[in-house]
Amino acid sequence: MNVATKFRLSEFQIAERDNLGRLLAVLVGVLLCVGIQMVHSASLTSRPSEQETVFLGRHLLYLAFSLLVAWRLSRCRAETLMNISGVAWWGLVILLVAVLIPGVGSRINGAQRWLRMAGLSLQPSELGRIILPLVAARNLCQSNEQGLRLSSVPGTLAPLLVVLPLVILEPDLGATVFLTLGFVLTLFLGGWPLRYFISCGLLLIPAAASVLVLRPYQLQRITGFMEAWKDLSSAPWQIRQSLLSLGAGGLEGSGVGGGWQKLSYLPEANTDFVFAVIGEELGLIGTLTVCFLWCAVLFTGQSVLRYQPRNSFAWIFGTTLLIQLVLQAMANIAVVTALVPPKGVPHPFISYGGTNLFVSICAVGLILGMSRETGEMHDNPVSPECPPARG
């Protein structure tokens, strides 16, 4: 789907875009450096051991591999990504089925979400944060080119409707919500008619209610969260320890490595609740700095993508990945500060490595790649465009 270049950027605009791309990479690099330090510090336990070194070594291994793949993805054109989106989706489905097979997927704390091999683990549902928006953007562009009709809605939603039941069976409600949000966000940015969103939302309400009925512990998390604001002693253990960690840090914190809550008190200190460790060891100044960095990532990412046409595949896909990253960081901070019910949400770039770190870094590589789709001073095709479809 090669579309002839309709406009070019000036040399100044290209230089400005490239500088913004470098700034985005630097901001992400700062968050990654914070993550390396916090993973090492938060992996300490009450029993002296070399566990923190093991975690740090694995984290650096994940990080190196992720950066290599992200660099390669940053060189991919939008047309190439659209062509491989179908294969990527089928690969995701196969992995999600495999993880549910007894003896193949690993079960931890009652959830079967991981594939383990040679000491490394893979969480297939995390890959959907990139693959589902990719497929949604491709389907939307194809539907708009052919003329958006009501009959195209099932085909557009089919990739999501196949994946979600597999994720629910793991079970992983958090991933279910995030995958749905990313898919819906892609359609919204691509101009999907508002009436379709309303109709599909009304149909999903019974399904969402049935999940809470079939899995009472999800409802208990919500009720426990409400209790936290009435009586802290009756709040869930994770919330109590998280708030204690944040409160103990004060303004300047106890210093890197000086926190006590991570010593077998704060659960998942190096993954889902690493932001609480930042609050205890770096204080309010540290937590606000992380929040500032995420605001800078959002604004810089938007700026680097603004040179793409708003109806192009590159802008839709790149903006979705950017907003997803920021929303995940916000969700993690909200969980740690008891603003939303507790749910396992890793902090992008900062939590202990694995599939989440891999996906987050690859998303940045794709964002930088999509930012360079249009305006080259050569006869390169621009990103395939999606005709407006808002109705």
pLDDT tens across 75-121, in order? Answer: 999 999 999 999 999 999 999 999 999 888 888 777 788 888 766 78
Q: Give the range of the structural domain holding residue 281, as residue numbers without chain letter.
A: 11-371
| pLDDT digit string, tens, across residues 179-220 | 999 999 999 998 888 888 888 877 777 766 665 555 555 556
| pLDDT digit string, tens, across residues 338-371 | 888 777 789 999 998 789 999 999 999 999 999 9
171 versus 277: the higher-pLDDT residue is 277
**Does residue 137 belong to any structural domain of this protein?**
yes
**Does residue 4 belong to any structural domain of this protein?**
no
* Cβ atoms of residues 134 and 76 within 8 Å: no
Closest CA to 358 of 128, 168, 172: 128
Residues 282, 284, 287, 289: is their CA dihedral positive or negative? negative
Q: What angle do CA 301, 302, 306 make, to 5 degrees?
A: 120
Band of residue 3 on the pLDDT scale cut at 50, 70, 90: very low
The dihedral region occupied by 102, where left means phi > 0, alpha psi between -120 and 50, and beta the remainder, is: beta
Neighbours of 355 (CB within 10 A): 22
**Does residue 1 belong to any structural domain of this protein?**
no
**Does residue 250 belong to any structural domain of this protein?**
yes
Closest CA to 225 of 209, 242, 248: 242
Comparing 41-55, 185-199, 228-242, the range with the smallest average pLDDT is 41-55
Residues found in the chain: 391
User: What pLDDT, on a 0 to 100 scale, did the predictor assign at position 378?
Assistant: 33
**Does residue 383 belong to any structural domain of this protein?**
no
Task: Kindly state the DSSP code that residue 232 receives in the 8-state scheme.
Answer: G
Neighbours of 380 (CB within 10 A): 13
Peptide bond between residue 171 and the one before it cis (omega within 30 degrees of 0)? yes
**Does residue 2 belong to any structural domain of this protein?**
no
Rounded Cα–Cα distance for residues 358 and 249 (Å): 30
**Does residue 195 belong to any structural domain of this protein?**
yes
User: What pLDDT, on a 0 to 100 scale, did the predictor assign at position 1?
Assistant: 38
264 versus 242: the higher-pLDDT residue is 242
**Does residue 389 belong to any structural domain of this protein?**
no
Domain count, the chain: 1
